[in-house]
Amino acid sequence: MAKKRKRKPDQPAHRAPAPAAAAVAPPLGGLTFAEVQTATEVISILAARPEIFGSKALRGLRAALHPLVTAQLRRYEPVDYAARVTAALQAGRWHEALRSLDGLRDLCDAPKAGTVQRWVRQAGRVARQEVAGVPGAFLLHGELGRVLGREEAAAILRLAQRMGFRTDHPVSRPAPSPTRGCEWLADASLLGPMFARASPLLPAEVGGGRLEGINPRWRLFEYRRGAIYRPHIDGSWPMGGLDQDGGYVHDLHGAAVRSRLTFLVYLNDGFDGGCTTFFQPAAAPAGAQRELDRFEVTPLAGSALCFPQSATASLLHEGSPVTRGVKYVIRTDVLYRF
């Protein structure tokens, strides 16, 4: 008969040794993986909800993320935006230049002072645009550069208003015109910058005369609602000026210097109507009655409209009615020496 083994007191069941605790990954610049995961989830939510990301409450977050975005752009888009600005300005592609400037700003790139100065000179250039359908007429203006800056035009207008406008009533007219005007002799501080901007785009020679400058004799006109300068043809004018005693001289150089182009500078915009309208004979079959086509030029503050005078061509035109607001212009001339 087999012997019974003596039962030992209950003992705890045998357990396998516990595995060593998982090693904790080294922190990422002081961040744990959990924190990175949370940040990733937040950014994913904001990317899907741009209206939240653009809110005022997250302004600080946007500022904090901007250096990261800039660094990423530098890594994946190595574009020389400064060179793009230069090329766009040289070609007169103003909108492209503005987009490239936005790129520089986003990358926090600060161009050299000399580069900025060159850009300012190039951006200030005036462009020439021919007036369709009107031979010899052209507009001097640009997206970034004009014959007169808006502040310059506003300063001239304020001075003219202090001088006062009077009813424009030439002797040849039987009744007063609804326009009002004033006259002055512009000095070199006004004529110099204006001519420097415009001269590269003006005809260097007309009818044997060499380009001399802009007539100091300025007539400033005010067109209020309903005002119209009836159809007419501009005549040629001599160069006005002052003698040694400060007296006005209608013809400073005799017949040697006279105008061949009208130089019409718009001092303001923002009104309705008031276009400069040219009238040209419409095409018609031989023997048929010919009508006149209208070609309108819309005023833009600081731009200048140039067109031949009666000594060179006969361009019939008018200052069309202003329907709202007030229009102000400078009427002067481009001079040539014969």
49 lies in some domain: yes
SS3 state at 292:
strand
19 lies in some domain: no
- What would the pLDDT profile of 119-132 be if each residue is shown by its tens digit? 766 665 678 889 99
Domain boundary among 103, 122, 141: 122
165 and 102, same domain (yes or no): no
214 and 271, same domain (yes or no): yes
> Alpha-carbon distance 58 to 46, whole Å?
10
Mean pLDDT of 22-42: 75
85 lies in some domain: yes
Confidence of residue 58 (pLDDT cuts 50, 70, 90): confident
64 lies in some domain: yes
Q: Which of 20-34, 117-131, 141-155, 260-274 has the lowest mean pLDDT?
A: 20-34
Q: What is the pLDDT of residue 186?
A: 94
Residue 92 pLDDT > 60, yes or no?
A: no
Higher pLDDT residue, 51 or 231?
231
197 and 261, same domain (yes or no): yes
Q: Please measure the distance between the N-terminal and C-terminal CA atoms of the chain and give it in whole angstroms.
A: 151
144 and 106, same domain (yes or no): no
- What would the pLDDT profile of 167-176 be if each residue is shown by its tens digit? 865 444 444 5
246 and 268, same domain (yes or no): yes
156 and 297, same domain (yes or no): yes
**Across the chain, what does the average pLDDT equal?**
82
The range of the structural domain enclosing residue 221 comes to 127-284+291-337
Contacts of 181-184 with CB under 8 Å at 24 or more apart are 181/219, 181/220, 181/221, 181/222, 182/219, 182/220, 183/217, 183/218, 183/219, 183/220, 184/160, 184/218, 184/220
pTM: 0.63
13 lies in some domain: no
Q: Which of 63-77, 202-216, 323-337 has the lowest mean pLDDT?
A: 63-77
Dihedral angle, C-alpha 236, 241, 247, 252, nearest 10 °: -70
87 and 164, same domain (yes or no): no
**Burial (CB count <10 Å: 0-12, 13-18, 19+), residue 331:** buried
> Alpha-carbon distance 8 to 25, whole Å?
47
175 and 102, same domain (yes or no): no
- What would the pLDDT profile of 278-307 be if each residue is shown by its tens digit? 999 888 777 777 789 999 999 999 999 999
Confidence of residue 71 (pLDDT cuts 50, 70, 90): low
- What would the pLDDT profile of 212-267 be if each residue is shown by its tens digit? 999 999 999 999 998 888 899 999 999 999 988 889 999 999 889 999 999 999 99
Confidence of residue 143 (pLDDT cuts 50, 70, 90): low
24 lies in some domain: no
Q: What is the pLDDT of residue 68?
A: 75
> Alpha-carbon distance 300 to 278, whole Å?
17
Dihedral angle, C-alpha 148, 153, 156, 162, nearest 10 °: 170
97 lies in some domain: yes
Q: Into how many domains does the chain fold?
A: 2
244 and 332, same domain (yes or no): yes
312 and 206, same domain (yes or no): yes
Q: What is the CATH number of the domain that holds 211?
A: 2.60.120.620
What are 7's two structure tokens? Answer: 């039962």
Domain boundary among 107, 122, 137: 122
What percentage of the chain exceeds 90 in pLDDT?
Answer: 41
H or E stretch including 126? none
30 lies in some domain: no
Inter-residue contact 201 to 140 (CB < 8 Å): yes
89 and 221, same domain (yes or no): no
Domain boundary among 122, 141, 164: 122
Angle at 69 between CA 63 and CA 73, to 5 degrees: 145
> Alpha-carbon distance 97 to 284, whole Å?
45
> Alpha-carbon distance 329 to 108, whole Å?
42
